[in-house]
Every structure is written in structure tokens, then in C-alpha cells.
Amino acid sequence: MTEKSTLLNCHKRIAPYIHKTTVLTSKSIDKMIGAELFFKCENFQRMGAFKMRGATNAILQLSEAQKRKGVVTHSSGNFAQAISLAAKSLGISAHIVMPLNSPKVKQNAVKEYNGQITLCEPTLEAREKAAQQIINEIDATFIHPSNDIDVIHGNATAAMELLEEQPNLDYIFAPIGGGGLLAGTALAGYFFGNKCHIIGAEPVEADDAYRSLLSGTIQLNKSANTIADGLRTTLGAINFPIIKKHVKVITRVSEEEISKAMLLIWERMKIIVEPSSAVALAAVLKSQNKIRNQKVGIIISGGNVDFKNLPF
């Protein structure tokens, strides 16, 4: 059971290894929406995404014996880089299982952070098998990208910092993929907000969380055909109960809405955000009536973009 002190201790623990990212505002987007928006810029976080927070916290919670044996995860995205960089910062070894077809640019980023890559077939089964094999061989500790309470607590610190700067936010919007960011944001809102509502933002094309919240049990994605590559994964048994308890609304957005929101941020704010982050602003745009004249936080989850594959 998470307590307020758990989150405060977590923030203190990881603070030396992460950036306290800036909070940006945009007069022109505020005017367009009719609300006051505060963008927590995790695109400026180390390795370019909030994942650095959860990865660092999870590794710092290991025993000395575990640290000596290293960590293992499977991810083709930001968590692969996050675990690699967090492990490197702390002087321990990281083993990353990545699908054969993951982009070279992502493999190279992991290598740059000294992550040791094991390639596998691009199926969840192959990933899990490859990770298990590494665990069997060297007794490394497995860290899940989103369904891990230490990862969730680490992720919570982004919204904690945002609420430190803006204690009276009426809403915080965060994207939901695996659920680790939204669960963390929900805990931060519950313990540190002042009647702050947490809203999840999800692509229609991968709306497992929306349907899970409606039905009360974890649903699987029917498709994952979204430009928001960080949000194609599914909920887990650790983060879903937290989301169920603290999040009343998940707002779904279309691919076109994601693309428009991403272009809006690029053009008006001159910052690079990945499609998953644009999902949060797209949900804000869709909630315009509800949030009029309110203070709204948005977690900009990351800025790792494939410039060869822009949606606009």
C-alpha cells in the first residue's frame, strides 16, 4: 500500500540521478483552449522520457547482491534506454531483450548507454522467453517497464514536481499505455493535489485501459495501430487497481487528433514531443468544455521521435 512518505522518500532517492524538468506554458494554446495549461516537460528528462524516473527508483531498491548480478528487461522503446542509462549511472549491468525488428536508432541508443542487447523474434512470448533465459543464466533481476510498484512510484515524481510548482491544478492529463505513468500520476494527485482530477489519455486504436475502466477488469487491446508507439502496451495487475481507485475518466483520441495536437506543440511551443505525449494534449483539446478557465497540468511523457516517420 503506497503512502505519502513512500513517494517523498522515492523522490529524495532518485533526485540525484534525474533532471527536475521545467514546466512550460503557452499563451497562444491557453487562448485557443480557454484554460491555463502547464506542461511538465519530461521530454527534457535524461534519455528523453519520464521512464528514467521509474527505472532509477527500481534499480535503487535492489539489494547489493542483486545489483552485482545486474538487471534485465524487455522493451523496444524508452524503457530499454531508461534501464540502460539508470544502470550505467549506478555502475551495474543491464540486459535488454529487444525484438529483431526494433529500429536501429533505438538499439544504438541502448548501446550508447552500455545496455547489453539480446535480440529476439517480435512476439511477447519470444521476449519473455529470452528474458527468462537471461534470468536463469546469470540470476539478474527482472524489472517490468510499467507493472512494477517501484517503477510506478518513480514515475509519480513527475506529477509531484508539477504539483510542487502548481499546487492548485484542477486536472492533470497523462497518457496511458502500460499504465505505469498514469498510476504514478494518480498517486501523486491523490497525495499531493488539492482536489486534483487525474485524467488518462489513450488512443482509440489501443483503448484497453478505457475499456478496462468501464468493465472493471483488465481488457486486452483489439489493435495497437497507433502512431503513439509508447502506448501500444497493455495494463498490468499492479497498476490497474491504482488507476481504478483514483482515475474516473479516460479520454480516447483519434490518430488525426494526436497528429494535430503534436503539430500544435511543435509549432507553437518549439519543443519536440513524441506522439504519446501529444495524446495528452489531444485529450485536453477534446475536454475543452469541461476544463474551461481551469488550471490543467499535462505530463509531456517524452521526446524520442522517429523523424523519418512524422504523422504530419
- Copy the grid coordinates of residue 210: 478505457
Task: Pick the closest to residue 298 from 188, 167, 173, 186 (CA basis).
Answer: 173
**Residue 76 designated active-site:** yes
List the Cα angle 273/275/278 in 5-degree steps: 70
Binding site for a copy of itself (CB under 8 A): 43-44, 48, 263, 266, 270-273, 303, 307, 310, 312
| Candidate list 26, 40, 51, 287, residue with the active-site label | 51
Nearer to a copy of itself, 195 or 270 (CB): 270
Q: Which of 26, 75, 76, 287 is catalytic?
A: 76
CB closer to a copy of itself, 44 vs 240: 44
- For residue 15, what are the contacts with CB-CB under 8 A and spacing of at least 6? none
**Closest distance of CB 285 from a copy of itself, Å:** 19
Least Å from the CB of residue 79 to a copy of itself: 18
SS3 letters across 53-76: HHHHHHHHCCCHHHHHHCEEEECC
The residue among 60 and 263 lying less far from a copy of itself, judged by its C-beta, is: 263
Q: What's the CA gap between 262 and 271, in Å, rounded?
A: 10
Residue with cell 540525484: 16
- Based on the residue annotation, tell me whether 146 is a catalytic residue of this protein: no
Q: How far is the CB of 37 from a copy of itself (least distance, A)?
A: 16
Q: Which is nearer to a copy of itself, 78 or 287 (CB)?
A: 78
Whether residue 262 contacts residue 275, with contact meaning beta carbons closer than 8 Å, is answered with yes
The nearest distance, CB 307 to a copy of itself, in angstroms, is: 6
What are the catalytic residues?
51, 76
